[in-house]
Homo-oligomer: A and B are copies of this chain.
Amino acid sequence: MNNLTMLTDLYQLTMMNGYYKSGISEDTLVFDVFFRKNPSSGGYTIACGIEQVIDYIESIGFSEEDISYLRSLNLFGDDFLKYLEGFKFTGEIYAVKEGTIMFPNEPILRVKAKAIEAQLVETTILNIINFQSLIATKASRVCMSAAGDPVMEFGLRRAQGPDAGLYGSRAAVIGGCIGTSNVLAGKMFDIPVLGTHAHSWVQKFPTEIEAFRAYAKSYPEKTMLLVDTYNTLKSGIPNAITVFDELREEGYEGKGIRIDSGDLEYMSKEARKMLDDAGYPNVKITASNDLDEYAIANLKSQGAKIDVWGVGTKLITSSDWPSLGGVYKLAAAEENGEIVPKIKLSEDPQKINNPGYKKLVRIYNKSTGKAEADLLLLDEEIINEDKPLKIFHPTYTWKTKVFHNYYIKELLEPLFVDGNLQRERRSVTEIKSHVEEEKDSFWPQYLRISSPERYKVDLSEKLWKLKTTLIEKKKAPALD
């Protein structure tokens, strides 16, 4: 990963300079990273990108070239620019385990650091977490629709730039895909890479069957043929069968065909029939072409005979919901040596943040092991699991629920303390298996792709009271 120190918004640097000039750059600030809506109007979001946040935080530093560029902007004092020469991140970051299932308004990360450091990292952290969480979530939805069938990611050519292809593949595999077409992603993240040939291979040869024969000769053990260059049913599949027959004579078995156009329901059924009749019940049918969770659900409900799904553009861009609106909101700030909870008001009550230095717990039913609700509370609050736990809805406060037979998990774990990484790095394989555990720990109604049931995320009474008090205090300010 490149050094992303300068990949930030200019206003972070102008504010940092302002804090520096005002003599408050070392005051502590606390920020929460959270989002307000699940992508694709779904029920959940998979937190993704934490490992890249680590790469980023560890590599922070301004080069001479960076500083001379900043000097050229005539916005910054010499003292401040001098200070930047030795800049690094020395604060605290807590984060959920990568792959955790998250809900609106829950902190994915919590940053507590000197004002000047906490401010710099906002944009880059959001950029990383927003994109990868978006794609992991989309992939998870697509794989849920495929109901256990393998899903391959191959959207690189339509991804929003090189990194979107690279980190998008990573997130897609974390979210559930079995592999990617992206070779660099395979190399960097040790994830399976997949792919055979394109239409151009078929066109290169004078005839389709010559192209298929040449491919089978190159990959006799892995012959998977793209059958829709000219005419899928009249030419592509008959030619593929001929080549599979020839392979069989040499002791090899054809592996699959791929269909990339046309009516995938009809084509796949016809293809299955032709392959079965020719003695190839084990040849797999892969389908691709503008697929997403909705198209796959439809095709499956119509009985399409598709074994493997290739998903491109609509996954890698999350085309129906191309951004996760993650924000980085000030929750507390040092004033005269004391950490004070902070609020930002808004006309829209959903946009008022939860103030204070907080933690997040998930409440599980002891008998079923399933998650039942999440609770946001102040960091100093302690839950005694031996006693019943009462939670209530933050807006409709008369809606309450009492847990008796439960246990809790704290979701935020230390990532950096005093600028030092607190744990071992995690592989994509580990993260992917955490996603699977996470999915198992929720009742399916919270995860279904359309009209999911809303999972409860409540505030502790103490936090709720703090929030209400701060709103009252700020809502009708005397004109200072």
Contact = CB atoms under 8 A, between A and B. Distances in A.
A452 to B, nearest CB: 23
Interface centre among A134, A203, A208 (most CB of B within 10 A): A203
A158 B14 contact: no
**A-B residue pairs, 10 tightest by C-beta:** A11-B195, A10-B195, A163-B163, A161-B163, A160-B160, A126-B157, A209-B480, A6-B184, A9-B181, A322-B322
Given A22-B218, A126-B157, A195 B14 contact: yes
Given A65-B187, A230-B344, 4 more contacts: A10-B181, A11-B181, A14-B196, A130-B157
A116 to B, nearest CB: 11
B203 A342 contact: yes
A248 interface: no
A159 B181 contact: no
A329 B204 CA distance: 11
A119 B335 CA distance: 61
A154 B9 contact: yes
Contacts of A187: 6, 65-66, 69
A477 interface: yes
A390 interface: no
A215 B7 CA distance: 23
A384 interface: no
B345 A231 contact: yes
Contact of A18 (B6, B158, B219): B219
Given A203-B330, A229-B344, A18 B195 contact: no
B200 A31 contact: yes
Residue among A70, A159, A262, A342 with max Cβ neighbours from chain B (10 Å): A159
B156 A131 contact: no
Given A22-B214, A163-B162, A156 B10 contact: no
Interface stretch (A94-102, A234-242, A271-279, A402-410): A234-242
Contacts of A15: 197-198, 200-201
Nearest to A312: B323
A24 B70 CA distance: 52
Contact of A9 (B132, B183, B208): B183
Contacts of A209: 480
Contact of A333 (B66, B124, B204, B475): B204
A319 interface: yes
A335 B206 contact: yes
Contacts of A193: 10, 73
